[in-house]
Amino acid sequence: MRQEPDRKIVLEDGQEYRGFSFGADGERVLEIVFNTSMVGYQEILSDPSYTDQAVVMTYPLIGNYGMADGDYESARPAIGALIVREYCDEPSNFRSVETLGSVMERYGIPGVSGIDTRRLNRSIRDFGSRKALVTDISTTLEDGLARLRAASLPHDAVSRVSCTSIREAGDASARFHVAAIDCGMKENIVRSLVRRGCRVTVVPWNTPAEEILSLRPDGVFLSNGPGDPQDVPDTIRTVRALIGRVPIFGICLGHQILSLACGASTYKLKFGHRGGNHPVRDLETGRIEVTSQNHSYAVDAESVAKTPLSVTHVNLLDGTVEGVRCEAERIFSVQYHPESAPGPQDSAYLFDRFIRNMEG
């Protein structure tokens, strides 16, 4: 007997999508976005940058290779919800230790399957990211819209996903010591630095500059994270105080924070960049990199001209700024994820550039 739909999605423009529940129960008001990756749902689920977001996967089959212990990007997934066309609850993979649905249930993450994800993704593309209600099938459209109107999306996501105390990674005798400001950092960033001979001291998002300098780091890393970069003025002030005193490398939200600290401005994109297949041109070499991305905001290109920064990379799909640098201050950042796993490895050289800056 065919199962009847038991969960729905209501968008603030009145669209409804009925589907089937998996993962946890519960109602959520979230920002709805899409991701174009064909693989990597475990890394997406555990990426802190998806805090308070309902992620719609464009690839139709999700859950088929299960969940592996070594592939998490954070210890506690903070994604708002996961929406898929077809959910597989019987994975086939020798590394799998449990199903996607069981992990989502444990961490309180609702899932919706069986909807027309192509239609929903095209709606996000055409009309932009917006508020969505993930709720029980019994909720009427009128009640759903009323709940959406009454709710507002939070602005404290970074403080909720950042570490609360200092932690260490890597060998104590490593050649380089990196202080990493955790705004919701993916674990593969730490692994990428450790593999290159770094000891990494991870500090909370609101750690003052003088406290970071007291650690005597060879370089400072600015992590990815969720939300609007202007929601973390403490981190922007810290970075502003660090510029010129130590080499700095930023990724994603860290790229936006570094740009704001230098005097540039940011703005929200219509539907963001999320996926493992975004082409980016390196303006210095002309080389085109295929990149992994996950962000809602971008750095305004015209505002960069009024700062010491220069644009180093641009997105070939929409011309947005994908990288900046100031050679004199030994600082640089990129909007995409060179540590992506799984995903393209075209941009791993950026970690080596950071190492060279610290050698200098």
Residue 184: what are its φ and ψ, rounded to 5°? Answer: 125, 45
CA distance 198 to 175: 6
Cβ neighbors of 309 (< 8 A, separation 6 or more) are 259, 262, 264, 324, 325, 326
DSSP string, 124-177: HHHH--EEEEEEETT--HHHHHHHHHH----S-HHHHHS-SS-EEES-TT-SEE
Residue 195, number of CB atoms within 10 A of its CB = 11
Question: Can you say how many angstroms the Cα of residue 95 is from the centroid of all Cα atoms in its chain?
Answer: 25
By the 8 A CB rule, do 166 and 202 touch?
yes
CA distance 203 to 179: 7
Provide the β-strand partners of residue 31. 53, 131
337: closest CA among 290, 300, 269?
290
Residues marked as catalytic: 252, 337, 339
* Three-class secondary structure assignment of 333-357: EECCCCCCCCCCCCCCHHHHHHHHH
CA angle (201 as vertex; 199, 204 as ends), nearest 5: 160
Sign of CA dihedral 271, 37, 192, 309: negative
The residue behind tokens 């592939």 is 71
CA distance 10 to 112: 12
By the 8 A CB rule, do 224 and 251 touch?
yes
256: closest CA among 359, 158, 124, 347?
158
